[in-house]
Structure 1
């Protein structure tokens, strides 16, 4: 007993030392996790690449300009074009050219490439938002788990304190002849069981905190203090009256769910690829033009114009239009069209499947929200009744009207009810946030994070 009291005082002092640290609520933990998640960072880079692809696709409408410079030194024997005989000479030739070209018609592929790039950009944004939302939801679940095991640990501590008190009173009554050795042994066995359960719950809590830190990408060695007010908040204060049914929520989710948005953009990209494949069967027309000049001199000879004069005299320009007509490309064009059509149909089926899956998730979330609310309200009543029953049974046991087995059964029933209430209450809170998410609301509510908190500490 003295050792346990000393440990309790030590834990109390540790808790007082930790009160200077700010408690982290759910929203702050989710924001931290999103900011430090590596998958989110990758999706940001991928989204930026899609944006650059769109700029590149738009640039295909602009003319392409290229320049070239060449220099050639030749020596040895060569054929004289005037006498048609071999002579030995050394020459230097220098050329300059600049050419530009611009497509006029490519079967509509250019505009469709821009549309595809825009769809990919929206797809990248949806993928980024999905990564953020998934990270936040995973953190939410890990946070709820940590709160749950903190609550069960606190209930186990209270249960052990009750057992310590009963053991002490039973021993005193046994010394006075009011109880037998069997009652003392039964109470001591229950005390040992409660001590083991407390150790077990603490281990589960430490594991849950480790999982939360890993989900947040939070330094494992650092202390993370959580806001535990949610555990002690009555269910009636958490109830959010809403007339939304599953159909209403689903209609909203169709327009704002990032996962479904990705599937829709994949379908749009496949449709643009199909149109681009059709463009490969049409002629392509482009215009081109350029300028060029050159300088030539036979080494060790004189009488050649200088560089400026030759560049002026040899200057030339050209302009033209070209058309390429596909006649036979080993059936790659027709096969590409058929494959693009199949890919579009596949993307369409994936979109419909994703929409059906979303409808099921929304329906399940709404049903769970209502179901866990009813469970929480009923469990609150049950906890109140079981608490009264336990106090009455304990009082009668102390008066010799009840057995130790009756006390143990009522204590176990009360602990089970309290644990069930804690689980259903925390799950209800999570389901409410999930339904709001499907309704288009932000998962992370920054305004709630700035509210005044009553600091409650979990010493890690």
Structure 2
């Protein structure tokens, strides 16, 4: 029993070691620092949902091969060997005698559909459309995950910049507190002013910790979108510059490009064509089916005093035949299928219209968001520049004793709020531009 426990523990340890080694190998293959293009490229190759849709495409390709093969003749072979033991009447001596016989039958059979109302041809066409539809569905999923990763990536950059800024603010507050302590010891300021400086430093440190925690959470969100292994330390690259102001393409032109290029529209269009082919397949249920068949067969039995090979030759026969099946009454199955196919066509047209409508609305929303974000960014920059200068002056005044602590902290809070508004507006402008450009078919780059 002790030996069994030791062996089991050894096996578990080896398996655990292999698992850790596999994870380490996977982590070593990942980049140490990620830019946005690497994030999007990695997700397109490794995202589970996208790869599932690609497997659907491969499965549909197999359906197409099967549909094509259905137009060719089938071929099947059969062989049977039997042993029969029976009592037969003996007319010479009377009574019964037991007789055992061995017998065998061998055959090859083939059949092919010559005409079935165009069902097989339409089935092949439909399977081709389904393959294209599966490709566009995978592309649509790639686009969706690319937008999600872009937003998550820029959110991480936003929180990183905010953390850097709040760290500088906390450093300034710490310096102001040290100066305040010197002034308090010298009797230049009241104790309440010193307490206010201490409270402000505590508030700044609290805001910094919150921002750093938010940065960690947003990084985790991006890591989960990328579906990276647990324990991997994701580090993203900060671009040198972020373009926030660009000419915005006319809405009508952007909508036209999106409706012509976006994969979800093409997928809906193919779904309508596929529904039309399904109607043609359903109508084949009213048409006769003509099939041809052929058989090669032979057999033998040991109750004949003839050699095995001779029996096979004597019993060898060939058969060719035509079979015509004409539907007369099939409990309304064919008519029901036709009517349902017509309904499916109407539904596919509604789906196409809905897809085009939703896409047009999304492009319009992206257009308005881009314009609003740029206007907001310009206003936020002016606000931040003005408050930054006022904050600089307030710092000098506080150092020289020309401003009260309350007035200084008021000006500082105005600057903090203005700077955070500016950071938020800047990243909103970048995200809005990238999303709007993406609807126009442009790849996402920073």
Is the TM-score greater than 0.5?
A: yes
2-structure distance, mates of 1:143, 1:79: 94
The 3 A distance-change label for structure 1 pair 87 and 351 is: farther
| TM-score, normalised relative to structure 1 | 0.85
Match of 1:32 among 35, 42, 47: 42
The counterpart of 1:128, out of the listed 135, 138, 143, is 138
- What's the counterpart of residue 185 of structure 1? 195
Separation in structure 2 between the aligned mates of residue 112 and residue 47 of structure 1, nearest angstrom:
19
> Would you say the 8 A contact 1:214–1:220 is kept in 2?
no
Which residue number in structure 2 is paired with residue 393 of structure 1? 394
Deviation at 1:165, TM superposition (A): 1.3
Greater shift, 58-67 or 32-41, is seen at 32-41
Task: Determine the structure 2 residue equivalent to 1:429.
Answer: 430
Q: 1:273 aligns with which of 268, 272, 278?
A: 278
Which residue of the other structure, out of 149, 152, 156, is the alignment partner of 1:142?
152
**Structure 1 partner of 2:98:** 88
Q: Check whether the contact 2:77–2:108 (CA below 8 A) recurs between aligned residues.
A: yes
Question: Could you tell me how far 1:261 is from its partner in structure 2?
Answer: 2.5
Structure 2 spans left out of the alignment, 5+ residues: 1-30
Higher relative CO (Cα under 8 Å, sequence separation at least 6) belongs to: 1
Question: Paired residue for 2:167?
Answer: 157
Counterpart CA distance in 2 for 1:87 and 1:126 is 76
Which residue does the alignment assign to 1:67? 77
Change (3 A) 1:189 1:45: same
Paired residue secondary structure (2:194)? helix
SS in 1 for 2:229: coil
Within the alignment, does 1:354 sit opposite 2:371 as a pair? no
Residue pair 1:213, 1:220 contacting (<8 A) in 2 also: no
Q: Deviations over 1:162-203 (max 9, x none)?
A: 111111112222223322212111111111111111111111
Q: Deviations over 1:36-72 (max 9, x none)?
A: 2111221111110011111111111111111111111
* Equivalent residue number for residue 451 of structure 1: none
- Tell me the SS of whatever aligns to 1:222: coil
> Which among 110, 118, 140 is matched to residue 120 of structure 2?
110
Equivalent pair of 1:98/1:290 in contact (CA under 8 Å): yes
Q: Distance in 2 between matches of 1:271 and 1:79?
A: 68
Give the equivalent residue in structure 2 for 1:41: 51
2:28 — aligned with what? none
Three-state SS of the structure 2 residue aligned to 1:292 is: strand
Q: Distance in 1 between matches of 2:229 and 2:89?
A: 80
Deviations 1:270-326 (A, max 9, x none): 22222211111111111111211112222xxxx622222222221111112111111
Residue in structure 1 matched with residue 325 of structure 2 by the alignment? 324
8 Å CA contact retained: 1:210, 1:220: no
Matched, 1:170 2:180: yes
Q: Once structures 1 and 2 are overlaid, which stretch shifts more, 264-273 or 119-128?
A: 264-273
Tell me by how many angstroms 1:154 deviates: 1.2
When the two structures are superposed, what TM-score results if normalisation uses the length of structure 2?
0.87
Match in the other structure for 1:458:
none
Q: Is 1:258 the counterpart of 2:268 in the alignment? A: no
Once the two structures are TM-superposed, the CA of residue 348 in structure 1 deviates from its matched residue by: 1.3
**Corresponding residue number in structure 2 for 1:306:** 307
Say how many residue pairs are matched: 413
| 1:127 and 1:262 in contact (8 A); partners too | yes
The residue aligned with 1:12 is none
The answer to whether the 8 A contact 1:155-1:415 is kept is: no
CA distance in 2, matches of 1:114, 1:156: 63
Residues 1:73 and 1:171: Cα distance change in structure 2 (over 3 Å): same
In structure 2, distance between residues paired with 1:67 and 1:260? 48
